[in-house]
A = this chain, B = another copy of it.
Amino acid sequence: MSVPQNIGIKAIQVNIPRSYVTQDDLEETEISILGEESRTKIKGKFTKGLGQTALSFCTDHEDTASIAMSAVQKLMDTYGYKPTDFGRLEIGSETAIDRSKSIKSFVMQLFEENHSIMGVDNTNACYGGTAAFLNSLAWIESSQWDGRLALVVCADIAVYDDRAARPTGGCGAVAMVLGPDAPIVFEKGSLTNYFTHSFDFWKPNPANPHPKVDGPLSLTLYYECLENCYMQFRTRHPGTTLDKFDYVVFHTPFQNHIKKCTGRLNFLDQHQDNNDPEIIKTRSEHQTVSQQSHDAAQIFKDKVQPASLMSAMCGNGYTASLYMALSSLIFNRDLTGKRLMMFSYGSGAASSMYVLNVVGDIKFMKDALNLEERLANRVQRKVSDYDHDIKLADQLYRTAPYEPSCSLDLIESGAWYLEKIDDNWRRIYKRKE
């Protein structure tokens, strides 16, 4: 076996749930609850304030395993891969449906003719997908590699207790094929990491499927991780500024947060000394960060916003978010010859920065993704439907036996769905004709 070269992404596909609500409708509902006098305060809060357009959600026929399987199925169907092409399948998720049995093992239902396929689930909030991605890349460079491809799947469903936080929810599942001779190549020597212990977002209460969130801490910690990864990167690659990258692709809780992140990186470009006390000092200064965001508006528009389609239209996909952004960029721009900075963040906290170089033609990925048409084919649903379905998801989390009651019309043809949970808590899946 020859030494593998140009290791990276050979294919990428997303699952898009059929159901979505608009942020505009969420604002109107909020106003109807709080009273018309709240209109000036609420109107624009989610659309302009967060920078979001819509969010995806799941019916009770969908769970983390079904959206992961559907992403893999769609990838197989649109790119023409076979189950036997793969020697590794790894999952990133923080929406586990079992505390022992992996989502990977559920996805093995698509690989009945191939049992020699290593890899399990990676857990660390929104970062698990990047852990899976980096593990799989390393595998291809290692003596463990058997010449077959790796499949990385990121899948999460983001729902919050607090009505004020709900507009930052969403859903996403992305499947990627990694291997040698890829058109999107992981740049050797580009990886930097920053990990720490924090309680900014966690899911400690087994009785509650939803997270506890320390919002301000989580956003500041995101900056801390981002900046430390970037400072490590420029220490290793002197002369690094944002000019050296055609695009910057962020893990995206919501659009306006990554505007501020762009501002922070631009600010760092103007403060080349990693020990400059201004860096830590300004990180938690709300007004300063807003000004920095404003100063970097053109950079955001040129280098960041082209990756925003899926985030703006589907919301936060947690582990999938960064790779939904990459999918959006592939769909929106001709990336031939372009250099991408990628930044992955997961609360708790974990983060990595790395670089991708597009060395080949990837129009086939754009065609396979077909995002515009697929997003347009979704079903716009009412906020009351959203409220109803996420209540069912809570039941689904804690109940057996369980028979889903939502319409199968809300499941895409060819996708996998949860048929039922039996009386022994076994989740049974089917593929929609």
**A interface, CB within 8 angstroms of B:** 94-102, 104-106, 108-109, 111, 115-125, 127-128, 131, 134-135, 137-139, 141-144, 188-189, 191-199, 201-207, 209, 211-212, 228, 232, 346-350, 352, 397-398, 400, 421, 424-427
Question: A203–B143 contact, CB under 8 A?
Answer: no
Contact residue among B139, B193, B398 (Cβ-Cβ distance under 8 Å from A138): B139
> In chain B, what residue has the closest Cβ to A145?
B138
A174→B192 CA distance, assembly (Å): 27
Which residues does chain B contribute within 8 Å of A195, judged by CB atoms?
A: 104-105, 108, 111, 115-118
Interface centre among A105, A111, A207, A400 (most CB of B within 10 A): A105
A425 x B192 contact (CB < 8 A): no
Whether A232 lies near B96 (C-beta < 8 A) is: no
5 intermolecular pairs with C-beta atoms under 8 Å apart: A100-B124, A101-B201, A118-B195, A139-B142, A206-B207
Q: Are B99 and A350 in contact (CB under 8 A)?
A: no
Q: Is the CB of A124 within 8 A of B121?
A: yes
A-B pairs, top 5 by smallest CB distance, nearest first, are: A138-B142, A120-B124, A99-B203, A204-B425, A105-B348
User: How far is it, in angstroms, between the C-alpha of A25 and the C-alpha of B188 when the chains are bound?
Assistant: 58
When distances are taken between beta carbons in the complex, the residues of chain B under 8 Å from A232 are: 116
Q: Are A348 and B119 in contact (CB under 8 A)?
A: no
Query: In the complex, which residues of chain B have a beta carbon less than 8 angstroms from the beta carbon of A427?
Result: 204
CA distance A125 to B143 in the complex (A): 26
In the bound complex, do residue A204 and residue B122 qualify as a contact, i.e. CB atoms below 8 Å apart? no
Are B100 and A347 in contact, with the CB atoms below 8 A?
A: yes
What's the nearest-Cβ distance from chain B to residue A124, in Å? 4
In Å, the complex CA distance between A137 and B135 comes to 10
Residues of B contacting A189 with CB < 8 Å?
Answer: 143
A397 to B353, CA, bound (A): 35
Determine whether the beta carbon of B204 is less than 8 Å from that of A105: no
CA distance A190 to B114 in the complex (A): 19
- In the assembled complex, the Cα of A252 lies from the Cα of B190 at a distance in Å of 41
CB distance from A332 to the nearest CB of B (A): 29
Which residue of the partner chain B has the closest CB to A428?
B199
Structural contact, A124 and B105, CB atoms closer than 8 A:
yes
Given contacts A123-B102, A207-B207, A115 and B194 within 8 Å (CB-CB):
yes
Smallest beta-carbon distance A214→chain B, Å:
8
Of listed A104, A192, A196, A202, residue having the most chain B CB within 10 A: A202
Are A105 and B196 in touch, CB under 8 angstroms?
yes
Residues of B within 8 A of A102 (CB): 123-125, 348, 350
A198-B105 in contact (CB<8A): yes
Could you tell me if A125 and B137 are in contact, using CB atoms closer than 8 angstroms? no
Q: A144: which of B94, B100, B138, B198 is its contact (CB, 8 Å)?
A: B138
* Complex: chain B residue closest to A191, CB-CB: B144
Pick the most buried of A106, A143, A427: most chain B CB atoms within 10 A of its CB: A143
What's the nearest-Cβ distance from chain B to residue A181, in Å? Answer: 16
Inter-chain contact A100/B203, CB cutoff 8 Å: yes
- Nearest residue (CB) in B for A117 is B195
Cα separation A350 to B100 with both chains bound (whole Å) = 12
Report chain B residues within 8 Å CB of A141. Answer: 138, 141-144
Contacts of A137 in B (CB 8 A): 142, 144
- Find the B residue at minimum CB distance from A188: B143
